[in-house]
Amino acid sequence: MKDSKFKKLDWLILPILGVGAVLILWQVVSASVSKELPNPGKTWAASKAYVVEPFAKRGEMDQGILRFTWYSLVLVAKGYALALLIGTPLGFCLGLSKTFAKTFDPIIQILRPVSPLAWLPLGLVLFLGAGKQASELGALFTIAVCAMWPTVLNTAVGVRAVPQDYLNVARVLKLSRTKTLFKVLIPATLPYMFTGFRLSLGIAWLVIVAAEMLTGRPGVGGFLWQEYNALVYEHIILCIITIGIVGFVLDRLMSVIERRFKTA
Amino acid sequence: MRPAFLEVQSVSKAYGANGSRTEVLRDINLSIEEGEFVAIVGYSGAGKTTLMSILAGLLQPDAGEVKLEGQPVRSPGPDRGLVFQNYSLLPWLNVFENVKLAVDEVFPAKSEAERVAHTEEFVEMVNLTAAHDKKPSELSGGMRQRVSVARTLAMHPKILLCDEPLSALDALTRANLQDEIARLSATHKQTVVLITNDPDEAILLADRVIPLTAGPNATLGPSFRVDIARPRDRRALNHDPQFKQIRREVIEFLLRSRKHRQASVTRKLVLPEIEPEDLSVHRPKIGARRRPIRRSEVQREEIQIDP
Ligand SMILES: Nc1ncnc2c1ncn2[C@@H]1O[C@H](COP(=O)(O)OP(=O)(O)OP(=O)(O)O)[C@@H](O)[C@H]1O
Ligand SMILES: [Mg+2]
């Protein structure tokens, strides 16, 4: 009896135990190995103002944590939209044309593993002429160029996996090329595309932090870097936790959308 | 002489690259009159779908030609309505939309309201009005096949090509749909080519039954004309002497075509000099001396013959 009751609460108790264990480890490390690392209690005390008033704005680089998150999300949304706008058609071209795929596959394979930290300076150089806008444009460029690959590759795979039967239907009906694209190819590829979209969003969120750190823009990443320089280490941890939670929520949201298209 | 409605002239088709090329169809000849219902019966893997794809224009033959009303068939088109073996419904569209897609393409001159009405008419014709808004994944196999038939008929094709439309269905659904196909083809005077692996189905539905020999190098056998009056009753048919005779001849032809294949691959087999133990006969007590029975020692052999 007792056993089964415990089983029912598994989903709640076990994660709490896990969090507890990490907090204890954190406490131990901060007390022994690294004296500079603020312990959980100190972190909370120093972060309280940012969490309790999440939308406060006290200065350019002193704002509530959700306000920072909001800035980051806006930037991510722009860069992500750019990634999808470029990545999806590129994926379709790769999937539809063997020649196109053979021509660009090596370049894609080489560019794909390049770190956002490497792209960002290039982005800044690229938009040097844009003056005040340079940092935003550079960040957008970096997000787009890093985040689009999963969309590109998944779309390409999805296009190649469209069953011949569907294409035969299109041929028997004599659908025009555009109609075949919109009535058959795109709907048949949607599940793959959404898997790509979800993975791309994950990467976009990873990149934003790096981009903000290097450009010093207000946002979670920029705040993190500023507080490192200001020696307020508690806020680094606050930022890390925030970034993690937001990333998790974004991934959940995308997988809900993704699943809707899977069943269709 | 007036050319036939659909004319297939010495069509051959092989798959694969030069090295491992297998000839699937060889020297297929067929002519079909307008309004005729022809059934082609053949083994699984003989090349029935290949033949159908060539008739539909989805595949080009290596040699020979297909002509519809004297015009060579070079590409697929809605005048040759193909009911695919695996239904090929688009899973993101519901029943209505699947049919409507075809209607929109084939009748661009009609108004939207007319096309909707036209679509509804064919959805109703296959008794799927109740499933109107369902996605293919929510339908049974028989219902999916009916959508596929509705989609094809709604295009008003000059010739209806059905590739084993009923093979994947259970016997009851199958019988139901057979009756529906018979009814539809009779009321529309539709020219039909039906491919099936079931001789009974072929004779029940068709004016003419043509066996396709076993592959590779499958080719069409002689035509068997079915003069049984319509509408045909499947129960009465079983006792019809003509039905029985055609059935026997078609099956015999198919079996012979296969035997012919088997003969060509027969190799000399060396059997072990030992007989399998027959467990149904009385077994001696454990411990009694037993030894394997040599094949050469067997004196009596029982042969069972199916009546
Ligand atoms: N695209 C292809 N490439 C190579 N070989 C093929 C291809 N399509 C079919 N074949 C071969 O051609 C032969 C005939 O195939 P086909 O699909 O026409 O048979 P079928 O009579 O329709 O069989 P079933 O009754 O199972 O539907 C088979 O041996 C198959 O392996
Ligand atoms: Mg087939």
Asked if A73 and A29 sit in the same domain, the reply is no
Residue A154 has a pLDDT of 95
Asked if A160 and A255 sit in the same domain, the reply is yes
First vs last C-alpha separation in chain A: 42
Rg (CA), chain B: 25
Burial B213-240 (b: 16+ CB within 10 A, else e): bbbbbbbbbeebebeeeeebeeeebeeb
Q: Residue A164: inside a domain, yes or no? A: yes
**Chain position carrying tokens 């309790």:** A52
Side-chain-side CA neighbours of B62 within 13 Å: the count stands at 14
Asked if A153 and A237 sit in the same domain, the reply is yes
B124 vs B132: CA distance, rounded Å: 9
Residue B266 has a pLDDT of 44
Q: How many domains does chain A have?
A: 2
Parent domain of A72: 51-263
Tokens, residue A220: 């979670």
A43 vs A161: CA distance, rounded Å: 50
Determine how many CB atoms are found less than 10 A away from the CB of residue B87.
21
CATH of the domain at A201: 1.10.3720.10
**What backbone torsions phi and psi does residue B207 show, to the nearest 5 degrees?**
-85, -25
Distance (angstroms) between ligand 2 centre and the Cα of B71 equals 26
Asked if A79 and A156 sit in the same domain, the reply is yes
B288's CB contacts (< 8 A; 6+ apart) are none
Asked if A97 and A188 sit in the same domain, the reply is yes
Q: Residue A44: inside a domain, yes or no? A: no
Ligand 1: residue whose CA is nearest its atom 14:
B47
Asked if A116 and A244 sit in the same domain, the reply is yes
Ligand 1: residue whose CA is nearest its atom 28:
B45
Q: What distance in Å separates residue B35's CA from the closest CA in chain A?
A: 21
A74 vs A223: CA distance, rounded Å: 16
Written as tens digits, the pLDDT of chain B (307 aa) is: 567 899 999 999 999 877 788 889 999 999 999 999 999 999 888 899 999 999 999 999 999 999 999 899 989 988 999 999 888 999 999 999 999 999 999 999 999 999 999 999 999 988 899 999 999 999 998 899 889 989 998 999 999 999 998 887 888 888 888 888 888 888 888 899 999 989 999 999 999 999 999 878 888 989 999 998 888 888 888 888 999 999 999 999 988 887 766 544 445 556 666 666 655 655 555 555 556 666 666 555 455 555 4
Asked if A216 and A126 sit in the same domain, the reply is yes
Q: What is the pLDDT of residues A61-103, one digit of tens each?
A: 778 888 899 999 999 999 999 999 999 999 999 999 999 999 9
Give contacts of A 86-145 with B, CB under 8 A: none
Distance (angstroms) between ligand 2 centre and the Cα of B192 equals 17
Q: Do B86 and A165 touch (CB under 8 A)?
A: yes
ipTM of the complex, rounded to two decimals: 0.76
Would you state the CATH architecture of domain B6-261?
Answer: 3-Layer(aba) Sandwich (3.40)
Asked if A8 and A90 sit in the same domain, the reply is no
User: Looking at ligand 1, which atom is closest to the CA of residue B197?
Assistant: 25
Asked if A92 and A15 sit in the same domain, the reply is no
Ligand 1: residue whose CA is nearest its atom 31:
B45
* C-beta B46 within 6 A of ligand 1: yes
A51's CB contacts (< 8 A; 6+ apart) are A64, A65, A238
Q: Do A168 and B84 touch (CB under 8 A)?
A: yes
For residues A70 and A58, the answer to whether their CB atoms sit within 8 Å is no
Residue B238 has a pLDDT of 85
Q: Residue A43: inside a domain, yes or no? A: no
Asked if A191 and A124 sit in the same domain, the reply is yes
A22 vs A29: CA distance, rounded Å: 10
Distance (angstroms) between ligand 2 centre and the Cα of B143 equals 20
A185 vs B92: CA distance, rounded Å: 11
* DSSP three-state, residue B77: coil
First vs last C-alpha separation in chain B: 48
Asked if A126 and A30 sit in the same domain, the reply is no
Q: Residue A55: inside a domain, yes or no? A: yes
Residues that place a CB less than 5 A from ion ligand 2 = B 48-49, 85
**Any B CB within 8 A of A167 CB:** no
Instruction: Indicate the domain borders of chain B.
Output: 6-261
Q: From B48, B52, B58, give the residue whose CB has the most ligand 1 atoms within 8 Å, as the site to mutate.
A: B48
| Residue B208 host element (H or E) | strand B208-212
**Any A CB within 8 A of B168 CB:** no
Supply the DSSP symbol for B284: P
Pairs of residues, one from chain A and one from chain B, whose beta carbons lie less than 8 Å apart? 49
Written as tens digits, the pLDDT of chain A (264 aa) is: 556 666 778 888 899 999 999 999 999 998 888 888 898 888 888 888 888 877 888 877 778 888 899 999 999 999 999 999 999 999 999 999 999 999 999 999 999 999 888 898 898 888 888 878 888 899 999 999 999 999 999 999 999 999 999 999 999 999 999 999 999 999 999 999 999 999 999 999 999 888 888 888 888 988 888 888 888 888 899 999 999 999 999 999 999 988 887 755
Q: What distance in Å separates residue B260's CA from the closest CA in chain A?
A: 34
Asked if A33 and A160 sit in the same domain, the reply is no
Strand ranges (DSSP E) for chain A?
A: 57-59, 62-63
A119 vs A125: CA distance, rounded Å: 10
